[in-house]
Amino acid sequence: MCGIAGIYTPGHAIDSGILDQMAQRLAHRGPDGVGQFIDHDLGFVHTRLSIVDLAGGAQPLFGLSGRTVAVANGEIYNAPDIFRDLAARSIMPTSQSDCAVIPILAEQDAAGFLHKLRGMFALAVFDRDQRRLVLARDRMGIKPLYVCRVPHGLAFASEIKGLWPLVSAQASMNPAAAMAFLQQNFAIGRETAIQGIERVMPGERIDLAADGQIHQSVWWSLTDEVRVARETDWTQTTALTQFDELLHESMAEHRHADVPIGLFLSGGIDSSILAYQQAGAPDAQAWTVGFNTQSVHDERAAAQQLADQLNIPLNTIALEPERLFDRQVMAMWAGDDLMGDAACLPTLELAQAASQSHKVVFSGEGGDEVFAGYGRYRPVPIQRWMRALLKPGSGGFRTRGRLDRTPRGLMTSEFWRQDGIWRETQAEYWQQSRGLDLMTRMQLLDMQGWLVEDLLTKLDRMLMAYGVEGRVPFLDHRMVLFGLSLPAHLRRQGRLGKQLLRQWLAKQSAASANPAATARKKGFTVPVGDWIRSVGAHDLFEALSRQAVIAEMFHLPALRQCVQQAALGDRSSVD
């Protein structure tokens, strides 16, 4: 795990001072060291969080001939297998870092090397002979990557902050992305908060040639792969066996590290499964968080019960709602992009606590999307969603829309004109999955939006703010394709989702029943309303109205009304 950034301006020399500034803005992602490489018109920087090959894994990394140079963020989980294959051919890399295989494979097979990698990654590879830059992002979009055009070329970075030295002079807010954010609390697709800065999409590859030509392509498509995977016909017995095998294999690969690995534990299905896998591991340790309030569900008791059962030391963080939001500025800086998920705040607290002793933690992201845990995957909610999608101001797959529950006069006309633009991306995703069943199409839509742009973004940014890597075993792409190939009754039965995971968990905990195996899903809720009431409507509005961007987007009298409603407990304004 680390931060990467770079610039390629074919035929025009790189300013090393700009690279230094880019590296400084990514220092939190890699507190253990900084690497830089310049080859006239190409510049790479890398800030390192040392996890594998602590002594010899510094980047940039080079191919065997030195022709290929690379920087990468993430983990290549099948690197041990690749190293064994190389050794069998008497090829001995100088580094045993998992990412060392990237420039070697790229040198051998520039067109197809990405397909040989299994893991979470964002990478840049440069061929010094052909003067060609390749940027790519992993299959599921676990690791972030951003790009922007610069004079004569292209720049990239792990976070928007890394590109700021290049765009700050002419930076402006992106109204379309802002409107998408206000509709659903995150932005979907390529567009970010800053005009001209775009996300590289999951499974996407960008090539920049020596003549300045840019070619974007999809090297792996989740929807296309699902169409093939769904040819398998699972029974309950064969599905449980396959899940068990995939889980053990995924966990074994995700444990590859030269540092201890911890666990974020909620006591729910997903983290409970990871806890069973971690039980007995050397230096096993877990963290959980809860709020000292009656207004939201508290996970601490369930987490403690399971931790005691499995003899996993549990660190419990108790949060006061009134104090939690003191971390808002830090969370906004860490979040970097358009993200309004209040769960960023407790995640930030978990990351800070874990960073005192660990550089890596397991987390259960992906379990709900892969194995159909959300109630909206039931037939009736799906039908309602499809009808709502046609309505102006609809929030589509997450809600009927946030802005249609607030006065139209809240927004300035410039931003209302952007209404619906973001839904073009949603509609495109929906059309791509034509021919699949509705539940699978909904899951795919969540994986391409909510999962990538909210859950995984939140995990990456909040943890990396404190130099902690989050690993997500449920998002091994083989596990994802398996989950989406299951028949409906192994995904949902009535109001209970994740049927296969419940059955697996029940088998593990037969001697001491685990409540998570039979309980309905309880989402992790942050007591935003408690905080608003503690601050008071007047003070909150005064703080908001002082921000220039707020005045540009909102009519302040209407905003004051929304804040007052929220202080009185009206959830429509809080959302």
Q: Over 70: is that where the pLDDT of 393 sits?
A: no
Rounded average pLDDT over 393-414: 50
Summarised one tens digit per residue, pLDDT across range 33-47 is: 999 999 999 999 999
DSSP secondary structure code for residue 521 in this structure: P
Domain extents for the chain? 2-220, 224-373+439-526, 536-574
What stretches of 235-353 adopt beta strand conformation (E)?
261-264, 286-291, 314-319
**pLDDT score of 383:** 61
For residues 218 and 290, the model is more confident at: 218
Average of per-residue pLDDT across 563-572: 71
The confidence score (pLDDT) of residue 395 equals 43
Choice between 458 and 420, residue whose per-residue pLDDT is larger: 458
pLDDT at 94: 80
Contacts of 233 (CB under 8 A, 6+ apart): 487
**pLDDT above 80 (res 1):** no
* pLDDT band at 554; cut points 50, 70, 90: confident
pLDDT band at residue 68 using 50, 70 and 90 as cut-offs: very high
Question: Smallest Cα–Cα separation from 559: which of 359, 407, 378?
Answer: 407
Average pLDDT over residues 72-85: 96
Rounded mean pLDDT, 292-318: 88
When pLDDT is averaged across residues 196-219 and rounded to a whole number, the result is: 98
Mean pLDDT score of the chain: 88
Checking if the pLDDT of 462 tops 80, the result is yes
Residue type, 60: P
Q: Do domains 2-220 and 224-373+439-526 have the same CATH topology?
A: no
**Cβ-based burial of 65 (10 A; exposed 0-12, middle 13-18, buried ≥19):** exposed
Percent of the chain with pLDDT over 90: 63
Does the structure show a pLDDT above 50 at 398? no
Helices (H), 91-193: 101-108, 160-167, 175-184
When pLDDT is averaged across residues 186-193 and rounded to a whole number, the result is 87
Mean pLDDT confidence for 492-505: 92
pLDDT of residue 344: 93
pLDDT at residue 385, as a whole number: 61
Q: Tell whether the model's pLDDT for residue 571 goes beyond 70.
A: no
Q: What is the pLDDT of residue 394?
A: 44
The amino acid occupying position 74 is G
Could you tell me the two tokens for 417?
Answer: 């004109």
The answer to whether residues 304 and 316 touch, using CB atoms and an 8 Å cutoff, is: yes
Mean pLDDT of 492-519: 80
- Give pLDDT, residue 400: 38
Lowest mean pLDDT among 168-182, 211-225, 252-266: 168-182
> Given this model, what pLDDT does residue 401 score?
45
Q: Note the CATH number of domain 224-373+439-526.
A: 3.40.50.620
Quick one: pLDDT band at residue 186, thresholds 50, 70, 90?
A: confident
Q: Which of 47-51, 463-467, 476-480, 554-558 has the least mean pLDDT?
A: 554-558
> Per-residue confidence at 194, pLDDT binned at 50, 70, 90?
very high
Cα–Cα distance measured from residue 487 to residue 191, given in angstroms and rounded to the nearest whole number: 35
159 DSSP assignment:
S
Instruction: Quote the pLDDT of residue 142.
Output: 98
4 pLDDT above the threshold of 80: yes
Mean pLDDT within 410-429: 64
pLDDT per residue over 117-130, tens digit each? 999 999 999 999 99
Percent of the chain residues topping a pLDDT of 70: 88
Angle CA 143–377–393, to nearest 5: 80
Parallel, antiparallel or unpaired: strands 314-319 and 286-291: parallel
CA 397 – CA 158 distance, rounded (Å): 28
Contacts of 514 (CB under 8 A, 6+ apart): 272, 306, 505, 506, 508
Q: Per mean pLDDT, which range of 271-275, 342-346, 385-389 is the poorest?
A: 385-389
Place domain 2-220 in its CATH homologous superfamily.
Aminohydrolase, N-terminal nucleophile (Ntn) domain (3.60.20.10)
Kindly report the number of other CB atoms within 10 A of residue 298's CB atom: 17
Per-residue CA distances from 315 to 285, 308, 366 (Å) = 8, 12, 23
Alpha helices, DSSP H, located in 222-286: 222-229, 236-254, 269-278
